[in-house]
Amino acid sequence: MSLAAKDVPPKVAARVLDRFQEVGLVDDVAYAGAWVQSRQSGRGLSRRALTQELRRKGVPDDIVRDTVDNISPDEEWAAASALVARKLNVTRSLEPAKRFRRLVGLLARKGYSSSVAMAVVRQVIADEQRAHDG
């Protein structure tokens, strides 16, 4: 809840927030970094989805941009691949085209572009097939 919602006068709120920043209690950069790490590894979110979440949380655009720009394409690919790999068992009984659509849809809902989603799903399914045939 914001200080304004608690009827704290704006000058007092500004002093409180300044003091919190001085002692490290308010650190948008650290918050954004921790949020991105947690949400990408835990939920497999794309850079686009992470950007939207941070903006909704009120993180300044320059910090959002810097934080999300630190995610390499390889890290984003790895997060998407891990998410798809976690869903392989529950989709195994589906016919191949339906399975492919479901997994691509999963990545699309996490903010991945259709081209990335399709490429990741193709790769993970091919890896699964090689391991099975192997």
Mean pLDDT of the chain: 89
Q: Is the pLDDT of residue 80 over 90?
A: yes
Say if residue 21 is in the same domain as residue 64: yes
The pLDDT value given to residue 8:
72
Residue 32, number of CB atoms within 10 A of its CB: 23
Summarised one tens digit per residue, pLDDT across range 24-66 is 666 888 889 999 999 988 899 999 999 999 999 999 999 999 9
d(CA 51, CA 70): 12
pLDDT level of residue 113 (50, 70, 90 thresholds) = very high
Q: What is the pLDDT of residue 133?
A: 86
Residue 82 and residue 125 in one domain: yes
Residues 60 and 100 sit within 8 Å (Cβ to Cβ): no
Q: What angle do CA 107, 110, 112 make, to 5 degrees?
A: 60
Number of domains, the chain: 2
Sign of CA dihedral 48, 49, 52, 54: negative
Domain end position, chosen among 69, 89, 113: 69
- Tell me which residue range forms the domain holding 110: 73-133
**Highest mean pLDDT (candidates 19-23, 27-31, 112-116, 128-132):** 112-116
The answer to whether residue 2 is domain-embedded is no
Token pair 């910090």 in the structure block, residue: 63
Q: Which two tokens stand for residue 81?
A: 């691949």
Q: 1 lies in a domain?
A: no
Contacts of 71 (CB under 8 A, 6+ apart): 36, 40, 47, 50
In the structure, what pLDDT confidence band is assigned to residue 112 with cuts at 50, 70 and 90? very high
